[in-house]
Chain A
């Protein structure tokens, strides 16, 4: 089921009459049968968008469609959605079985069918042994799966997940995200999930939607968005370690950082931000490249070495200090204090104007 949002706006008014546009004129089409990650820092409006799709919040403006069906004013119980809450919101007094059965009982599904669907769902999420336990007797990951089963058992048109992994420990998180991916593939249900963790979003989404201040910045396949960010915010938000941003200048087709040549472009002369991904640095063994820094720290973990470069700001103050990270092959034996010459992979370098927009 395709989800379409047109001109969707949600304004929250605080007690002192201050208005916050949590979602600001969002136009978004979520393709049918895909797993979509809504991604952004806290307060960017991603959860609000999810709750608008669910109908638990009422938009101030705009329309929402599920396929050809307009659901803008449809109450949540009639939208045919499954929602997994951040804290799962499993009914603590009901067993796993009763939790999964609950929506079916409300929808007056015939008893034998309801019981059969409950068992099927429990099998899908791998909890058939746990049906008679109470939620508090389950681990966080198991509770998460019960919540997914409860959301899916009524065969919703759309599955929504609010920060599905944020309450799990690191190991469980990896497992559960594979699990979510598997369940989504098996059921082919259009799924939207919200996260602030770019790695999480990139690892399981078919497409990601990056949001900031209630506005959609970019949508696309994770790797595409990573490789071709439309602005500095998206470039900085995706990738760990973060992209390095240098103050640079274009002069006669040459890209210069502090006067050091790092690449070439056809763009006209102007001041720019030069973004270079940490993996975009290549150590120049011949030491012919003019792009060079003294290394302050070296972290070697397995096959990669991270070089940490601290550059003082223009006025030399420590507060203005910037840290850059370059990830290079561990075979280079570099120690702190060495001066290293770098070449830059052109596809890992992005130029932005001073407003943060990408230059092509």
Chain B
């Protein structure tokens, strides 16, 4: 009886498992293997690939590569700033939207538009908005009597470029977060807010002690997924800066951009192993971040 049930279960799972095997598990394991190949050429031997042996040299070389450290630094700055900022903004906007029920639908659409628009196209629009002479951002700054900032021009500073990239990243990440938070807010029983009113709670207390804890499972979900998304930042850089990956070449390079740069030179000996090794490092970093978030959440998230 039991074995027959097991056999059936595997049968039902088979389509998914086969697809996941081909598209997720095999590439993952393959990336590990490629990252330790020595002098690997993927297209040699009529496409079967050829390597002279196994080595950890790829990792050693990456850890001595200035460009990799730059990519790592940029990625961390993007992740550690854009994720909390966009979550807080999305929370505030969602709560504000809830207090104007008549316009909620309209604003939900407005805020959701970026989500269904191509990141590269938006990036180009943003690139123009950040233009030193004609851009919208400098125009707004001029209202406050501030000098125009050289955001992404050829001689712009690293911080100016990073600020532009962060503004773009936060803005384009808001849509989905607002969508999730507004629907989460709708699921919170109105009675808790009535009870809090009776209990003389101020608006800030209600937000801090009722809304945020009751949304905490969603906040955790959003923070983990958007942290993973931010660690994989690439689209935004290409969108805003083009293939130069910065106002100066590679000034805004991220880990994924680093992987991509070497992966695309796969005809050169060993380059693809180099890219694979960088990808593995990103994988490990992502796992560590997720574990930390999971550990923090065990104390703070209320289901």
| Max chain A C-beta neighbours (<10 A), residue from B199, B202, B214 | B199
CB neighbours (8 Å) of B216 from chain A are 93
CB distance from A33 to the nearest CB of B (A): 21
20 CB contacts below 8 A, A to B, read A56-B197, A56-B198, A76-B198, A77-B197, A77-B198, A77-B201, A87-B191, A91-B192, A91-B195, A91-B209, A91-B213, A92-B302, A93-B214, A94-B209, A102-B209, A103-B199, A105-B205, A107-B200, A151-B198, A154-B199
Docked pose: A103 CA to B199 CA in angstroms: 5
Are A106 and B191 interface neighbours, CB within 8 A? no
Contact with B along A65-102 (1 / 0, CB 8 A): 00000000001111001110101010111100000001
Let me know if B218 is at the binding interface, CB within 8 A. Answer: no
Closest chain A residue to B194 by CB distance? A56
Are A92 and B214 interface neighbours, CB within 8 A? yes
Let me know if A277 is at the binding interface, CB within 8 A. Answer: no
CB neighbours (8 Å) of A78 from chain B are 200
Docked pose: A89 CA to B191 CA in angstroms: 6
Closest chain B residue to A150 by CB distance? B199
Docked pose: A85 CA to B189 CA in angstroms: 12
Contact with A along B156-198 (1 / 0, CB 8 A): 0000000000000000000000000000000001011011011
Let me know if A210 is at the binding interface, CB within 8 A. Answer: no
CB neighbours (8 Å) of A154 from chain B are 199-200
Q: How many residues of B contact A (CB 8 A)?
A: 18
Let me know if B31 is at the binding interface, CB within 8 A. Answer: no
Contact (A76, B197) CB under 8 Å given A87-B191, A89-B189, A92-B302: yes
CB distance from A315 to the nearest CB of B (A): 50
Let me know if B210 is at the binding interface, CB within 8 A. Answer: yes
Are A102 and B201 interface neighbours, CB within 8 A? yes
For the complex of A and B, 3 pairs with smallest distance between CB atoms: A93-B302, A89-B191, A103-B199
Interface bracket on A: 20 to 34
Are A106 and B202 interface neighbours, CB within 8 A? yes
Docked pose: A105 CA to B302 CA in angstroms: 21
Let me know if A54 is at the binding interface, CB within 8 A. Answer: yes
CB neighbours (8 Å) of B191 from chain A are 85, 87, 89
CB neighbours (8 Å) of A91 from chain B are 192, 195, 209-210, 213
Docked pose: A102 CA to B210 CA in angstroms: 11
Q: Find A81's partner among B198, B210, B302 (CB 8 Å cutoff).
A: B198
CB neighbours (8 Å) of A89 from chain B are 189, 191-192, 194-195
CB distance from A350 to the nearest CB of B (A): 41
Closest chain B residue to A98 by CB distance? B209
CB distance from A200 to the nearest CB of B (A): 22
Contact (A106, B200) CB under 8 Å given A91-B210, A92-B214, A93-B302: yes
CB neighbours (8 Å) of B210 from chain A are 91
Docked pose: A202 CA to B262 CA in angstroms: 83
Closest chain A residue to B191 by CB distance? A89
CB neighbours (8 Å) of A103 from chain B are 198-200
CB distance from A83 to the nearest CB of B (A): 5
Docked pose: A222 CA to B194 CA in angstroms: 31
Closest chain B residue to A134 by CB distance? B302
Interface residues of A in 121-146 (CB under 8 A from B): none
Q: Find B205's partner among A56, A75, A106 (CB 8 Å cutoff).
A: A106
Docked pose: A186 CA to B216 CA in angstroms: 40
CB neighbours (8 Å) of A82 from chain B are 198
Interface residues of B in 98-137 (CB under 8 A from A): none
Interface residues of B in 194-231 (CB under 8 A from A): 194-195, 197-202, 205, 209-210, 213-214, 216
Are A83 and B205 interface neighbours, CB within 8 A? no
CB neighbours (8 Å) of B202 from chain A are 106
Docked pose: A81 CA to B213 CA in angstroms: 26
In the complex, given contacts A77-B200, A78-B200, A83-B194, what are 20 additional A-B residue pairs having Cβ atoms less than 8 angstroms apart?
A: A77-B197, A77-B198, A77-B201, A81-B198, A83-B198, A85-B191, A89-B192, A91-B210, A92-B214, A92-B302, A93-B214, A93-B302, A102-B199, A102-B201, A106-B202, A106-B205, A107-B200, A150-B199, A154-B199, A154-B200
Are B199 and A106 interface neighbours, CB within 8 A? yes
CB neighbours (8 Å) of B200 from chain A are 77-78, 103, 106-107, 154
